[in-house]
Amino acid sequence: MKLNYKRTVFVGMAFFLILAFWQAYDAIIPLILTNHFGLPQSASGVIMSIDNVLAVFMLPLFGSLSDKVKSRFGRRTPFIFFGTIAAIVAFIALTFIDNYQLARVVAEGIPSVQQGLLSEEAYSELIRELTMKLTTENPWPLIGFIGTLLVVLIAMATFRSPAVALMPDITVKPLRSKGNAIINLVGTAGAIAVLVLGMVFGTSKNHYMPYTPYVIAVTSIMLIGLVLFLVFVKEKQWAQEMEEETERLGLEDQPEESESKQGSRKLSKGEFASLLLILASVALWYVGYNSITSKYSVYATNILGFDFNLTLIIAQAAAIVSYIPLGMLSSKFGRRKTILVGVVMLATAFFCGIFVTPSTPEFIMYPIFVLAGIAWATINVNSFPMVVELASGSDVGKYTGYYYTASMAAQILAPILSGFLYDALGMRYTFFAFGTVFVVFSFVTMFFVKHGDAKPVAKKSVLEHLDVD
């Protein structure tokens, strides 16, 4: 029994374009809201949580809908195609509204305000107050921006669950941690490509740049991922082959499921408790992690004066190097134990970040983000497979929705709660501390999980024990 890496890579192209989008979104939307529209961190946090509010309702809905779709292209592919095209068009349109607001800011002469003796944080706050005055005088550009952003986020929410559910659709259960490692590796490659574009376009250096060329470049990368997915992925054929392999290896779920290849089953009390604990853990570590990622571009640019693109590239590169080994380690030591190690590593990284100041050499941040990148990969490779391990064939989309409901609900809370905290106490002393606390909480809930590790497959010969794939 071996994972088909080639197929998994092409299926991962859907995740490639998703992470490419979200990397660009997390990089420029907080900067636009803060530097172009002058919103405080609390208001910016509320807007940044809109995607997660939508996701709480839409991800389970579209995950479940895709379970029921019967088309000649498969269950998931139609959602991926139409959702991606709609998101690309709306994302580009969003930048034109920002360009209008930016023209007002430039005409007002705000970019020419000299920093003088002010600190980086005090200077950024002064600029924010001036741009907020323009927004207050004419709020229509902001209203149009938020309305168009809503269209972008709805489009992205329609296909995330179907895209992620496709890997379990074509992969037998014991190989899903490895499969998820490949999916995340391909997705991370999309994120890194966008970070490189950020360096090329100088998104961390020019507060008042028009983002249209950058977004067109990002959406071009998304289109490349979509084309590769559509050309090479044979969803219906591969899903059928997975079902046949599951039967051949004796990996079917409970006996009552044998009446139907796509039947569903009821969880035992222990399994249900583990599902709730896994979802609680997902929510907690996402609150901690998202509070960092959703505002790191603002923190690095306005507080530390660092290039956030380079720091995040290093973190993503560390994740890429570790994904496949982590998938193999989880097969040996178990998903739960591997996740617990990752949680400890992530909490340690965020705790170390507390001590980085504007006067700290920028390279000190690199090993911190290397550790964070490896830690997040450790968690991601194993947490989603633990959830869908509890699902039967017809419920994979629904359980994928559960997973993303937990993560997105957490990401509603993260930017809002952290934003109010930043406004009240300042980002300098609360940014990494907030993330650390919630990651530590997730260790406690994950510690008590008892189900979700892969069902072992009996080796038929001595030679099979030597097969590490």
Instruction: Please check whether residue 464 lies inside any domain of the structure.
Output: no
- At residue 116, the pLDDT reads 56
Q: Output the six-digit token pair for 219.
A: 């959406």
SS3 4: coil
Which residues have a Cβ under 8 Å from the Cβ of 4 and sit 6 or more positions away? 170
Which residue type is seen at 337?
Answer: K
- Name the H helices within 202-268: 212-232, 235-248
Q: Output the six-digit token pair for 291.
A: 């509070």
Give the distance between the most distant pair of CA atoms in the chain: 76
Q: How many Å apart are CA 178 and CA 176, to the nearest integer?
A: 5
Question: Are residues 406 and 313 in contact, defined by beta-carbon separation less than 8 angstroms?
Answer: no
Structural domain containing residue 152: 5-249+264-455
Among residues 204, 222, 261, the alpha carbon closest in space to that of 89 is found at: 222
Instruction: Please check whether residue 468 lies inside any domain of the structure.
Output: no
Instruction: Please check whether residue 55 lies inside any domain of the structure.
Output: yes
Question: Are residues 163 and 18 in contact, defined by beta-carbon separation less than 8 angstroms?
Answer: yes
- At residue 48, the pLDDT reads 84
Burial class of residue 269, CB neighbours in 10 A (0-12, 13-18, 19+) = exposed
pLDDT tens-digit profile of 275-310?
899 999 999 999 999 888 888 888 888 788 888 888
Instruction: Please check whether residue 218 lies inside any domain of the structure.
Output: yes
Instruction: Please check whether residue 75 lies inside any domain of the structure.
Output: yes
Burial class of residue 126, CB neighbours in 10 A (0-12, 13-18, 19+) = middle
pLDDT tens-digit profile of 73-110?
888 999 999 999 999 999 999 999 999 999 998 888 77
Instruction: Please check whether residue 9 lies inside any domain of the structure.
Output: yes
- At residue 255, the pLDDT reads 43
Q: What kind and span of H or E run contains 432?
A: helix 427-447
Residue-by-residue pLDDT tens, the chain, 469 positions: 678 888 889 999 999 999 999 999 988 998 899 889 999 888 888 898 888 788 778 877 888 888 888 888 888 999 999 999 999 999 999 999 999 999 998 888 776 666 555 566 677 777 788 889 999 999 999 999 999 999 999 999 999 888 888 888 888 777 776 787 788 788 888 988 998 998 888 887 767 789 999 999 999 999 999 999 999 998 888 888 877 777 777 766 544 444 344 455 677 788 888 889 999 999 999 999 988 888 888 888 878 888 888 888 888 788 777 766 776 776 677 888 889 999 999 999 999 999 988 888 888 889 999 999 899 888 877 888 888 777 765 677 678 778 878 887 888 888 888 888 888 888 888 999 999 999 999 999 999 888 777 654 444 433 233 233 3
Which CATH number is 132's domain given?
Answer: 1.20.1250.20
Q: How many Å apart are CA 5 and CA 413, to the nearest integer?
A: 36
pLDDT tens-digit profile of 119-156?
666 777 777 888 899 999 999 999 999 999 999 999 99
CB contact burial 387-400 (16+ within 10 A = b; e otherwise): bbbbbbbbbbbbbb
**Total number of domains in the chain:** 1
Which residue type is seen at 245?
Answer: E
Instruction: Please check whether residue 125 lies inside any domain of the structure.
Output: yes
State how far Cα 464 lies from the chain centre: 36
